[in-house]
Amino acid sequence: MEELPIIQKTYDLIKWYVPILNRLPKNHRFLLGDRMASSLYDLLEQLIKARYEQQKLPRLENLNSQLDILRYQTRLLLDFQEMDAKRYGYICQRLDAIGNELGGWIRQQKGKPHEAPRKSLA
């Protein structure tokens, strides 16, 4: 089965971002860094689950808000001066690319006709 681009982009972001989060100073690593790393892993897990679900839309819409939280948490790292502007810009581009893919997937799912449950003839 071919990998969905959004799953690959999320995977690549985790490989790049988690080592950075693990190097944060203690005052940010154990609360914000751990929370962000967990959210990234959860994002990947939920995207993979959505791929196989019949009704994808509820899960995808929830992931949209999770992605927005990651954007704000990343901005906090910049504001706390734990990240330089160049690295922040790169991460924002990656998060935006994932967000664009997610938005397209949501729009595609909203455009699908929903199958009504089949009634038994018995």
Q: Supply the pLDDT for residue 2.
A: 74
* 116 belongs to a structural domain: no
* 118 belongs to a structural domain: no
Q: Quick check: 115 pLDDT over 60?
A: no
Which residue's entry shows tokens 């019949």? 54
CATH number at residue 44: 1.20.1440.60
95 in Cβ contact with 71 (< 8 Å): yes
Give the whole-number percent of the chain exceeding pLDDT 90. Answer: 88
How far the first Cα of the chain sits from its last, in Å, is 38
* 117 belongs to a structural domain: no
Distance (Å, rounded) from C-alpha 59 to C-alpha 106? 10
Give the whole-number percent of the chain exceeding pLDDT 70. Answer: 91
Q: Residue 103 is part of which domain span?
A: 5-111
Q: How many CB atoms within 10 Å of residue 110?
A: 11
- Domains identified in the chain, total number: 1
- For the CA atoms of 33, 37, 42, 45, the dihedral, rounded to the nearest 10 degrees, stands at 180
